[in-house]
Structure formats: structure tokens, C-alpha cells
Structure 1
Amino acid sequence: MPEVLQISDPVAVFALVAFLILLAPIVMGRWQLPGTIGLLMAGAILGPNALGVLARDQSFILFGTVGLLYIMFTAALEIDMVVLNRSKFHSVVFGLLTFAIPMGLGMAVGRYLLDFSWPATILLASLFASHTLLAYPIASRLGIARDTAVTTAVGGTIITDTLALLVLAVIAGSVRGEMDDYFGYRLAASLCLYVLAILYGLPKLARWFFRNVGRDGVTEFVFVLAVVFGCASLSHAAGSEPIVGAFLAGLALNRLIPHNSPLMNRIQFTGEAIFVPFFLLSVGMLLDVRVFLADWRALMITAAMVLTVIVSKWLAAQISSLFLGYNKAQSRVVFGLSVAQAAATLAATVVGYEIGLFDDAVVNGAIVMILITCVIAPWHVERYGRKMAQHLASAPEPTAAEQQRILTALSERAPSHHLLDLALLLRQPEHGQAIYPITVVQDNGDTTAHVAGAERVLGDAVGYLSQAEVPSTPLTRIDLNLASGILKARRELNATEVLMGWSEESRAPEFFFGSLMENLLRDRDFSLVVLRPREPLNTTRRVLFAVPPEADLEPGFNNGIRLIKRLSRQLSAPALVMTPDKGSDRMFKRMRAQSPDCEMSLGKTSTWPALTSTLKEQYRDGDLIVLMGARQGGLTWKSSTARLSEELAALFPKANMVVLYAGEPRTENPTAVVNPEAGARMV
């Protein structure tokens, strides 16, 4: 190694790595290749076994390990739990096939081609059975992370990796002499306790933290990092590997970190910008070409290992796709996600070398296998993932009347973050529309101080939305009253939803007094959503959705159901629909037919007046109560329904509550022209 080229100054090392992270996607993009390949090649060329510019020291090992765990964690975190529950059979089928086929083919190659002993053969086969979701960030960037095929590949990962690591534990235990009559019982008991502690204990801890401690983005982000790597570090005590702990932590926190939230954006940004690139560079540094030039047997072992893993993973993906009905692009993406070798492969290789089952030839063969599969995987996911994304994008575009625009009314008197969180949950990113925070200042003569205060509120709102990478256009209106200012802005923007806060000074929304509600609801072209926050929305366990009788006969029913189902899906919280028994089956069928999909069940009440008693029986801590309101003059309107929100507010003083008045379908295309660049303040 030419020592003269080596960089030892930590500042210069970090600067070089930053340039590599920056340039790799740019250079690889010229050949239509993913940037991950460029980072792998850079690590191999600049690493200690080639030019020697960068040393694979403890800093690269540390950040590389963090990056690997980050990939597993974010993959589990971004799983659509609705799709996963619906495709559990898919994940099991693929997980078992992608374990059994490489395991069987690997044992044949190891025993009869390479002439290994049976313990070495079984351990070698387990290298092929496991895989790492190296290319998952590409699937996430392409917008296909919630496709059934991608979710199946992610769900199957934990099955095959767990089985492969169990094989590693058993073989290592037998060779080291740790096997006794109670070895299997100890391993099973420790793994069960470990899994149960994470999947059931961690959500309770995280929910308590978000409710009582988490007050800013930095605190929440550091908490997530601490619990994820804490879970990973405890894996060895349970007889597993850290990647399993990181994946389980992602599953445990999945329901508490909405996909469209500032916290999720921080997690993704940190991983993709720092940790994952360090992992790719550290993997590339492992390659040592000199070993193959000195030993022909190493070349044979390497060729056998590379061909075995590619062929077996390809067969597993193809056979699974035939069983599950995936198209060619989905099949190739599943193969790309499951062919990359890294985490469990490295763990098993190191253990096999330490206990004397593997020699230098196998270790270097494993490194080459890791490098080659880490090049194949992102290329496949990038190429065929784009075809999947193009197929999704070829669906008919929504018309101008269907374009979602959310107007969020803010006030100096109440915190705005809860309302903005609700806007993020209800927003449809595919429409590409901004969120419009608005403050209305009453025109009472001297408005200067009030306008300044309103603009401070809007400034905070813009900063908060920018943390989630969501565009926003703040508006300040001066008008005679709140209703008039909101309605004028709504018509000018052609907003489809208006979000408002609940007054903390009464048990009902502040617009329930005087003529404010009547004025707002007179305009039937938008959905009015009122939130009474008591705790962060991401801690919601379940949505209790109260629907008046015959609400499905109202013209705005479908609009309202789509909003609530979107909220339920974003929160990963099942919805319990509560409505009178008469006509409930017809109504629930219409609800199920609306998109998007979410977990829904029907909870009938004997009569509508009996709703309050039924809610008292069903309510549990962490439930979000949603009431579908009725506009005066509609089929479902009654004076008792108009007072119901007040009664529920008094009955459940500590519960999050939402009152929804669904907008009616538009009968003609809007004529309003919206220009987000027209300035942040309108008076």
C-alpha cells in the first residue's frame, strides 16, 4: 500500500467522503446507474487494498455499522402496515422460498463441488439464504416503497435473515461445544423474550415519551436513535444479530411515526446523507484483489459463491412471483431487494473464520460476493423500480376540481403544530400542492400589532412545514370577522379543506357560538375539519368514527370518508365505525369501496341517541374520536346532532377529537387561478 497517498487528517478524510457522497450520484447518473454503485467502487479504489488513500479504521467501521442498521430500521419503519397485514401470506411465502432455495442449492455446492465438511457446508449455505435491503432507499426514493411487491420483499427479509442467523447460532454453538440438552430451549426463550420486549414494550415507552417528554424535533429524533441502537445492541444477549433488533424496532415504531411527518423526514435525511453512504464505502474497502491472483482455489470458491447466490435468489424471486401474481417489473425489484449480501453474510463469515470452518479463500470470496451483489441490487431496483413508478404514474391524473388544497386557519392564542400535523396527515403528496396557513386579523382600526403577531405565527408554521419538506404559502387576511376572511381566502384559492382549531376556553369549537359556524358551513364546496388536540396525533391507537344514520345518502359522504380513511392509514390506526344498526351494512360497504385502504371494522349502535353510551363502552386511552357532522338542511341534520359535539367534548375531556363536515362534489370546474408566488401576505 502506498503510504504516501494515505490521508490521516480526520478533517480531510471527512471532506473527501463528503465529496464522494456528492459526486457519486452525479457521475453514475451519466451512465444511468444508481449512485450506490459509485460509492462501492470509490471504496474499493481508494480503500486500503488498492490506492490506500482511505484506511478502514474504527470511524468507517462505526459509521458503516450504523448505516447498515439504519437501512434495516427505515425499511421496517416505512412498511405500510395495511399492505403488510393484507399481504402477510405473501411475505411468508417469499421469506420461506428465499431461505429454502439458496439454502438447498448452497448445501449442494458446498458439499459436492467445494468438498466442505457438513458444518462448513451448512454455514456457507446460510450466507446465501440471508440478504440485506441495501437497495431499499432507492425504492423509497422512487415512490414504490408501499407497493405490495416491495412490502413482500421487506417482510420476507426478517424471516429469511432470522432463520439464517438461527443456523449460524446452532452451528457456532455445536463447534464451540456450547450445545447441550438445553441449548435450543435457552435460545428460543431468549429470542421470544427479546421480540416481545421490543414489539410490545417499545411502543408503550415511545407513546409515553411522545406524549410527555417530546417537545421538539431534536428531542424526538435523538430518542428514536437511542431506542433503535439500544434494541440492536441487546440482540447478542438474545442470540441474534443487531440487524434483527433494528428491524424489530422499526416495526415497533411504525405506527408512531407517520410517513408524512417532520420526524420521518429527519430520519430519512440523516440516513441517506451520512450513514448509508459510509456503509457503502466501508463495504467497498473490503475487496482485496491480490488474494485471487495468488490462489486459483480462491477464484473457484468465489465464482461458485457468486453464481450460487445470484441463481438461487433469482429462482426464489421468480417462483414467488409466479405464486403471488407479480408482473415482470415487480419480480425484478423483489430480486434486486433480496440479492444484496452484507450484514448477516459478514456476521456468519467472521464467525465461521473464527471457529475454523472457513479459510482466507472463503472470506475473500464472501467479500467479492458482497461487492458484486451490492452492485447488482441497486441497478435492478433502479431500472425496474422506474418501470413500476411509471406504471403507477400512468393512472389518470386528477382533474383541476379534484386537486387538493388545504387551508389551515391558525391563531396566536393556540399552538399551531397540532393543526399542521393534521394537515400533513390529510395531505396527498401526489397532488404536489402546498399547504396554506392563514391568519385572519379583525379590522378594528389599529391592526399593525395584530398583523405582526399573525405573521410570527405564520413564520413558525412555514418553518415547521419545511422540516417535512412540504411547500407552504402563508396568508394574512384583514377582514371584519374570522368567517368572512376564511371564506374569501378559500374561494380565491379554491381550497378543498379548511382546518380549524378547537377553543380551549370552552368545551366546543369556538365557531359553534354566534353565526360563525353557520357562515362557514353555508359554503358547501369544501370540507371543514375541526381539531381539539389533547396529545400528539401520532400516539393515536385507534380511530372511533361516529357516523349519523343515512349519512351515506348525503352528497359529500365519499369526500368525508376519503379524508378519514387517509387519516387512519397515515396514523396506522384501525378505524372503528360506529353508526346505528339500520342501514349500517349498506353504509359500511360504501366506506370499504372508497380509497385509500385502511383497517376498518363496524361497531353498531342500537340508535343514534345511544351513541354516547356506546362510545363510553368502547373508548380506550389513546383513541381519536371523529364525528361526522351534518350541515343544516341535509338528510342527516337534527338539532340533537348539532349539539352532539358539545356533549362528546364534555364526556371525553382528555381525548383528541375531530369534527368533520364533508364538502359536496363540485358540479363545474373552478375558475380561480392560484399563484403561490404571489406573495406571503394578502390584505
Structure 2
Amino acid sequence: MSGTPIQSMNAGLPLAGGIPSVPIEEPVIVFAIALATFLVAPLLIERAGLPGIVGIVLVGAVLGPNGTGVLAETDAIVLLGNVGLVYLLFTVGLELDLRGFLAAPENAALFGLTSFFLPFTVGSAAGIYVLGLDPWASFLLAAVFSSHTLLAYPVVNRLDVTKNRAVTAVFGGILFTDTLALVVLAIVLGQADGELTLMLFGQVFASIAILFAGVWFVLPPIARWFFRNTSQESYFEFLLVGAAIFGAASFAEVLGLSDILGAFVAGIALNRLISRGGPLMNRIEFVGNALFVPFFLLYVGMLVDPGVIFDGPRTLLVAAVIIGVMIVTKVGAAGIVSAIQGYDRNEFGVIAGLSVGQAAAALAITLVGFDAGLFGADVLNAVVVMMLVAAVLSPWLTERYGTRLALEDDVEPGDSGTVDPRVLLPLSTDADRQRHLLELAFVLKDERPESPVHLLTVVQPDGSGTDDDAVAEAEAGLEAASEVADAAEVPARTETRVNHSIASGVVRASTETRAELIVMGWDAQQSLSNRVFGSIIDQVLRRTTVPVLVSRLGHPINTTERIFVVAPPGIDHHEGFYEAVHVVKRLAERLGAELHVYVVEGNEKQYERLFGMVEPELEARFESARGWAELESTLRRETDENDLVVPISPRQGSVGWDPMLAQLPRTLAELPPQSFIVVTPRQGEPGYAARFLTIE
């Protein structure tokens, strides 16, 4: 026998103490150095006024085989670097403002096509007439820097400007730039092999179509089924996402396409199923920002060879031409698009910074051309120099203008900071219902919340002397819920009240916490027939004036595809109407769900105008129903298990109240979605709603 598994694992590793030899290849030591780099390098480089990610790239260049040689380009480093690039492109697709992209895909197409063809045209001419390259080699070299790698994505994500219209155009534009670059690569290689035929063009475009169709139509149904039917810990959900990322990337490779394109498409496919601010999104961002993406940046740095600068004048000439053409044409393309789209100076700076990023993908295309004999060593070394320049320039530009853009967004007219309400969440002991309510509360909060969610349990004394045990049990349940909030990075405070009346405990807690929104769950049980929900919820509604959301969720909130809003007769005259509309629109925006508004016995055009006056801006479809019977028939016909019905229902006796609203929750509990949220608007503060209106 050759030895035990443990002996085989230890083969080639030092069994005695001592200083490891250079280059270091021991996995544990390499990993320790990498983590120390991720921790220290950003902190040091930020003191010099540069973005933190530049520090990781520079340390990689210093420690890599072309620098001091401390670290070797081992298979593990290559693997983790490529994993980081794939993961990065997935998160870009996941963070894409899909609603904005689909509402105006021409914006992404305009940026993508301009950012590709301007550098490609000028770069091809420079390669032929300045560098003296073969036309096909010039085409491939131009394709190298006509695409872009979002090196500076961590910057815009940290600054929270990923939803900006210009940034969305850049994210969507990568579909066009990288796809076209891969098409050029396939065509040039086909010509080099003597196989440039119409069949080759057909194969490339067919592969792209199969990739998009396969991922888009297969992945979301699987993920939605999994989220609906699993109640396991959320790391199972993360494992599903991980399998989806690398499964889609592998599928792209099987089709002869780039793995990063498959990961990007997977991100878009799961975009609407992973809610912002939830534990799953937090885990995805945490793992990427702490581990995978830094490994990609370290790998990019290790690919850089500072010594190529001294290889001779030819390398410097090629590098100068490539860098000059890349920067001028990428910035020029950003300027053209900004002028056409009306982007301001800071938006122009951000998209210019994002689009000049070049990394391992550019080097991969260059290596393919080098292996095929289309490029010489001078071109290969020049591309490495270009990567070093781009690794510094792209994050610096993005940080400089992205910071200004973030400050602009903070003081945007109409933004009064009301998107992060103080939420009071009374919880029950039902684990599944508790989880659904927590997910709903997280969706209603800001992506970077400051005010906490107040988690409440009211204990009723039974007079038997066991109140302490009941309180301890309630606090243990709240602690478990608080851990879920911590995982989602949502601040939470636990509140335990002892009160003979649960409703009184909730009302008192709402006053003490200054709650701006109360979220309650309903089990579809009514204690008295003349009440809407039952004694507890009805008492809370009568004794408070803040908005109350009464929910019955039959599916995880993040799997919602469509939201059907019910506007009863005269609700537009209620003083809390505009705030209620804001809550509904914000819910649809955060979930990426389609918004359908049914106006009962009213003018749908009037409601379309009123909804348009409320932040955030969101497209919606408006229809009228002649009566409640027609509404019920329509909902039965149109809704399915992944939909959510949201009636706006005022308190009994107030403006907009209709007796049929008392029966509506029972009716909705029997509809196919079995998921609804009844929004009861704010009462008694007529001036409060003005803060939710757009300012022209």
C-alpha cells in the first residue's frame, strides 16, 4: 500500500518546524498571508487617499512571482482567483436594478455598444497602422480592452449607488461588451484555424441564446420552489445560490462561452428572489467582500509583472498605445453616452471609472491570442502593464466621483429619510409565521438601516406564580428572532411586556418605542363575527393611529412575483393614503415585483396620477372593478401562489371605509395566493403624508 489517506495528504509538506522556503506553497501559510493582506492592505492604502481594493492588487504584485516571489502562482491561487471573478460577476447581476434595466434596456444597450465599438474601432486602427499588427491580431487586441471588468464594483456597492441610473446602464452594458468580445474571440480563432464560416457565427449566437434561455427559465423556478418548501437554516439557501452560480458558469463553459457570462446571467435570474436587506443577501455580500473578491484582486496583482517595463522600447510603445487608446476611448464613450442621456458630471465620472477596469478576463483573451501565435511577448507584457494602470485608475476614479454622487443622492429633493421607519413587530410562537414576519419587516427597512426593528412579545399573567418562566421563555424566543436580524445586519431591540391585555401591551409598546409602523400576523381566525380580524388586532387598530400592516403570508415574501393592490371607494381622500401608497410601492420596489392596482368603483386614471405623485418612482398597471363581486372574480382568475394581495383598508368609520372591507380578509384567505397584507393607513395626522410626495 502507498500509505494512509492522512499520509498521502501530508506528502510534500514539511513535517518539522522551520521557516518555509520561498516561494511559499504551503496552503495554510498562503491562506494566512492572503487574509492578512485583505485586512491590512486596504487600511494602509486608504491613508494615501486611494481606494482600499488597490492595496490588495499592489500587495499581490509585490508578493507575486514577478515581484519578490514570496507567493507562487499555485493551482489554489488560480482557482480562488477565478472563483472570485465568477462570484464578482454574479453579484453584479444580483445588484443590477432589474426594474430600471427592463424599463429602459436601451440605456444599457446604448452604453454597452458605444463602450465596445468606439474602443474596438480606434483600437483596431491603432493596432494596424501604429503597431503594425496583422488585422486579425489587431481585432483581437482591440476586443481585449473594448470589454471591461468591474474592478471597482466593491466601491459603488460600499457607496450604495448601485441603483443609480448611470451605474445600472454600466452593469447592463456588460452584457453587450463582454458578449461581443467573446464573439470577436471566437471569430478570430476560427479564422486562425481556417474555420471562419457562417456555421461558426450561428454556433456562437446559438450558444448565447441557449445560455440565457436555460438559466433564465430553469433557475428561478427551482430557487422559488426551494425557498417556499425549505425551513432549514439559511446556509442551505446560500448553498443553493452557490450551486446556481457555478452551475451556470459551468453551463456557459460547456457551450463554449465565458464562465463569467454564465455567472452574470445567474445573478440576473435570481435578482428578484433574493430580497435586499435579508439574511441571505447579507451572507452573499459578506462572503464575497471578505473572501472571494479579495482573492480575485490578489490574483490580478500576482499576474502583474513590473519588470516588463524594462523589456525594451517595443513593450513601452505597445503599452503606451494600448493604455492611451483604452483610456481615451472608454472615457470618450462615457462622455458620449452621458451627453445623450443627460447624466451629470459625477455620473459621467463613475461610469468612466467603472468602464476602464481591466483584469484577468483581458489577460485570458490575450493569452489565447498569444498561444494561437497572433500576439508576441511584447503585446502580452503590454497588456499586463495596462492591467496595472487600470487596477489603480478605475477604483480611484470611481471612488472620487462615486462619493460625490452618493452625497447628491443623500440630499435629493423629496428624500426626507422616511424610507427607514421604526417598526414594531409583535411576534407569536409559530416559527414559520415568525420567520415570514421578520422577512417582511426587513424588506420594509432601508438597505442600510439605522433605526431598529422592535421585536415584541406580550406575556399574559396567569396568576399561578409562573410568570417568570413565561417571561424567560418569551425572552428566549425574542433572542432567537434577534439573531436572525443580526444575520441580516438589521438592528433589533427586544421588548417584553407583561399585561393582562395583549392589545394593551402592543399599544403601549408602540407609544414607548415611537413606532412609525406596526407589523402584525393574522392566522385567519376571528373571535367574533362582527370584527374584521379578531379582538386583539381590532383593538390595536382602534387604539393606535400609526399605520398597521396585518399580514397572512403563505409563501416567503422574497418569492413574490406580483403585488395586487386593492383601492376601495374613496380611499384617495383618506389623510394617510399617500403614506400607504408609499409603503406599497416601496414593498414592490424592494421585492422587484410587478405592481397591479385594482380601483373599486373609481377612476383608474385618477389613481394612476395619484400613485405617480408618491415616492419611489415605479411603473404600475391600473384597472377598475365595477364592484366587490367583480374584484373577487378578477383576483380568483388572475392570482397564483406567488402573488401578494394588498388592500388599503382604513379604520372602521373613517374616510374610505366600506362595509365589504370587513369580509375581505376572510375572502383573501381562501384565494389561491393565501398571502395578503392589509395596510391600514395613518389616522389623525393630515400633514404627515406630504413627505412622501414628489417635489416637482
2:113 corresponds to: 96
* Contact 1:406–1:495 (Cα < 8 Å) also in 2: yes
**2:45 counterpart of 1:25:** no
Moved more, 403-412 or 581-590: 581-590
Superimposed CA distance per residue, residues 424-457 of structure 1 (whole angstroms, 9 cap, x where no aligned partner): 1111346621100100011222322221221121
Residue 308 of structure 1, aligned match among 312, 317, 325:
325
**2:97 counterpart of 1:77:** no
TM-score norm. by structure 1 comes to 0.94
Residue 324 of structure 1, aligned match among 341, 346, 363:
341
Residue 680 of structure 2, aligned match among 646, 661, 671:
661
Moved more, 311-320 or 280-289: 280-289
Give the letter aligned to residue 447 of structure 1: D
Superimposed CA distance per residue, residues 87-127 of structure 1 (whole angstroms, 9 cap, x where no aligned partner): 32221111111011100110111000011111101111111
User: How many angstroms does 1:214 deviate by?
Assistant: 5.8
Equivalences for residues 413-562 of structure 1 within 5 A: 413-415=430-432, 416-429=434-447, 432-445=450-463, 446-503=466-523, 512=532, 515-562=535-582
Superimposed CA distance per residue, residues 120-175 of structure 1 (whole angstroms, 9 cap, x where no aligned partner): 01111111211001101110100111111111111111111111111111111121
* Contact 2:628–2:660 (Cα < 8 Å) also in 1: no
List, as ranges, runs of 4+ consecutive aligned residues in structure 1 with deviation greater than 6 Å.
Answer: 396-403, 506-511
* Contact 2:525–2:534 (Cα < 8 Å) also in 1: no
Superimposed CA distance per residue, residues 48-77 of structure 1 (whole angstroms, 9 cap, x where no aligned partner): 112111111111111111111111111110
Equivalences for residues 346-357 of structure 1 within 5 A: 346-357=363-374
TM-score norm. by structure 2 comes to 0.92
Superimposed CA distance per residue, residues 470-511 of structure 1 (whole angstroms, 9 cap, x where no aligned partner): 110110001111110000000111111111112166799998
Structure 1 unaligned segments of length 5 or more: list them.
670-683
Give the letter aligned to residue 66 of structure 1: V
* Contact 1:5–1:51 (Cα < 8 Å) also in 2: no
Distance in 1 (alpha carbons) for counterparts of 2:468 and 2:620: 49
SS at match of 1:389: helix
User: How many angstroms does 1:363 deviate by?
Assistant: 1.1
Superimposed CA distance per residue, residues 177-214 of structure 1 (whole angstroms, 9 cap, x where no aligned partner): 33334222222222211111112221112111211236
Give the letter aligned to residue 368 of structure 2: V
Moved more, 284-293 or 584-593: 284-293
* Contact 1:509–1:530 (Cα < 8 Å) also in 2: no
User: How many angstroms does 1:293 deviate by?
Assistant: 1.9
2:589 corresponds to: 569
Distance in 1 (alpha carbons) for counterparts of 2:637 and 2:484: 37
* Contact 2:507–2:540 (Cα < 8 Å) also in 1: yes
* Contact 1:87–1:152 (Cα < 8 Å) also in 2: no
1:16 corresponds to: 33
2:691 corresponds to: none
Counterparts in 2 of 1:325 and 1:189: CA distance versus 1, 3 Å = same
Counterparts in 2 of 1:410 and 1:3: CA distance versus 1, 3 Å = closer
SS at match of 1:640: helix
Counterparts in 2 of 1:668 and 1:537: CA distance versus 1, 3 Å = closer
1:224 corresponds to: 241
2:5 corresponds to: none
Moved more, 418-427 or 520-529: 520-529
**2:251 counterpart of 1:234:** yes
Structure 2 unaligned segments of length 5 or more: list them.
1-18, 689-696
Give the letter aligned to residue 594 of structure 1: V
Distance in 1 (alpha carbons) for counterparts of 2:111 and 2:533: 58
User: How many angstroms does 1:573 deviate by?
Assistant: 0.4
2:357 corresponds to: 340
Distance in 2 (alpha carbons) for counterparts of 1:406 and 1:547: 24
SS at match of 2:242: helix
Counterparts in 2 of 1:306 and 1:651: CA distance versus 1, 3 Å = closer
**2:666 counterpart of 1:649:** no
Give the letter aligned to residue 664 of structure 2: L
User: How many angstroms does 1:408 deviate by?
Assistant: 0.4
Superimposed CA distance per residue, residues 621-672 of structure 1 (whole angstroms, 9 cap, x where no aligned partner): 31111122231111222322211111221234x5222111111363699xxx
User: How many angstroms does 1:5 deviate by?
Assistant: 3.9
SS at match of 2:343: coil
Counterparts in 2 of 1:17 and 1:414: CA distance versus 1, 3 Å = closer
Equivalences for residues 33-182 of structure 1 within 5 A: 33-182=50-199
SS at match of 1:473: strand
* Contact 2:552–2:676 (Cα < 8 Å) also in 1: yes
Counterparts in 2 of 1:268 and 1:431: CA distance versus 1, 3 Å = closer
Counterparts in 2 of 1:575 and 1:95: CA distance versus 1, 3 Å = same
Cα root mean square deviation, aligned? 2.2
Counterparts in 2 of 1:429 and 1:340: CA distance versus 1, 3 Å = closer
* Contact 1:503–1:509 (Cα < 8 Å) also in 2: no
Aligned residues: 667
**2:645 counterpart of 1:628:** no
Moved more, 173-182 or 466-475: 173-182
Distance in 2 (alpha carbons) for counterparts of 1:651 and 1:63: 48
* Contact 1:419–1:501 (Cα < 8 Å) also in 2: yes
